[in-house]
Structure 1
């Protein structure tokens, strides 16, 4: 379908996958204090794919770390419908001494899932990322793209409910394809969309690439340069062809304005 490029209205749903209210993050104290994020309000609906866009140093990764619970906000509120969101970083960070299957299985084992259930779920996840036949390979035997797909399967496994094996309700991704070559990145973007559609997982995807944000996201959220604030949002779901090109051009222009105003 074709969608228009416009600001996204507030959602009327009563329960979000994640909701941030007036979130502020400051590092340090006194005259050395640096405010990374200032007054962030953001809501991501269940199953929604949101891309956080902004220049380097605008606080995108800091925001992701706060949602993941890896750091605490200085003020404001973060509410999640899951206590254990899945996280995927720029580097696959796989355990080199474990096979691909064992890497995916590890968070299930740590969560106390029974072995038979772990093996079955690991097979399902490797199937999901199209890597079932390389489950016995170690990371050094895999290409960069394959390692990132294993990392995606492990991220999904890390947020599974040990009792019912439900898919992660929230997946946080910090520029996971930035270190890959253009062709591999393009392939994995397509794979990510396929996995997202298959699992119904809400995704918060950090990138500085406007084209990637428009291709992947249903909604693009632009952050200002430090301190990070939400500058503008666009609905981009379903854009193709000329509409997609116009969206990329428009968002790129706004991003340049934000960067220029910060540098002035």
Structure 2
């Protein structure tokens, strides 16, 4: 069922629908606060994501990228517009790994499956598969403080995939929401994990909505790059990455981003 939201009545979180897209946002508006102190974060966002598609949301700090992810994850509610999802539990991965420090890597990955009531043998088998998928099959008994930053983010990725599986009856995951998950890492580790993420995405067929302010990262990872304006956030341009020269497209997107930032500063 489609959730239709008015500006004044209390809105509802996204609901699952049987459409040809994993994500559908139409005319989505988000306002924080009330009266003269209200801040319009998003104003008329239209966005769709196809099954298995990798979409990067790009924009300057404060443009509403994270707000879009929070709305899709059901962590916040839109003020108006329509949001449709074909999954009941999108997985979310943040800048920090946010692992439980007292649990091993394997137990961290296993946790969402356990909370979903998956039987022990099945969840442990799935956990082993997911750790192998992120190339951490040998460190399942390690605790977070024994792992590097990059390894912790790989565990977080495996846990995010486990969370989505738990919410979809054990079927293949369908939507992963990522909020600048590599921004706190050094350049070499970030480059390695970008490659690992692409490998995992190709292996699982998971649709990804990836938030970043790094144009090069967006062009490298995404099949499609969606640029948001500065506050209030609106979609100002989209690029399809396939078939384009990466360096030339990076320059083009950078130039357009600078235009958007400059026009906002001059307003």
Alpha-carbon separation, structure 1, partners of 2:173 and 2:233: 27
Work out which structure has the larger RCO, using CA pairs closer than 8 Å and 6 or more positions apart in sequence. 1
Q: How much has 1:167 moved relative to structure 2? A: 2.3
Query: Partner of 1:76: helix, strand, or coil?
Result: strand
Q: Is the 8 A contact 1:126 1:153 kept in 2?
A: yes
Alpha-carbon separation, structure 1, partners of 2:168 and 2:248: 46
CA RMSD between the two structures:
1.2
Aligned counterpart, 2:94: 89
Structure 1 portions without partners, runs of 5+: 1-12
1:247 aligns with 2:252: no
Aligned counterpart, 1:147: 152
Out of 198, 223, 227, the residue aligned to residue 228 of structure 2 is 223
Query: Partner of 2:191: helix, strand, or coil?
Result: helix
Superposition map of 1:52-201 within 5 A: 52-161=57-166, 164-201=169-206
Alpha-carbon separation, structure 1, partners of 2:45 and 2:233: 8
Q: Is the 8 A contact 1:88 1:176 kept in 2?
A: yes
Distance 1:184 1:34, change over 3 A: same
1:30 aligns with 2:32: no
Q: How much has 1:238 moved relative to structure 2? A: 5.1
User: Which consecutive segments of 4 or more residues in structure 1 shift more than 3 A?
Assistant: 161-164
TM-score (structure 1 length as normaliser): 0.93
For residues 69-91 of structure 1, give each alpha carbon's deviation from its aligned partner in whole angstroms, at most 9, with x where no partner exists: 00000000110000100000000
For these two proteins, the number of residue pairs brought into alignment is 249
Distance 1:44 1:158, change over 3 A: same
Alpha-carbon separation, structure 2, partners of 1:152 and 1:168: 12
Q: Is the 8 A contact 1:218 1:238 kept in 2?
A: no
Q: Is the 8 A contact 2:65 2:211 kept in 1?
A: yes
Alpha-carbon separation, structure 1, partners of 2:262 and 2:237: 16
Q: Is the 8 A contact 2:52 2:207 kept in 1?
A: yes
Query: Partner of 1:220: helix, strand, or coil?
Result: strand
Q: How much has 1:218 moved relative to structure 2? A: 0.1
For residues 61-111 of structure 1, give each alpha carbon's deviation from its aligned partner in whole angstroms, at most 9, with x where no partner exists: 001000000000000011000010000000000000000000000000000
Aligned counterpart, 1:45: 50
Alpha-carbon separation, structure 1, partners of 2:150 and 2:139: 13
Q: How much has 1:21 moved relative to structure 2? A: 0.6
TM-score (structure 2 length as normaliser): 0.91
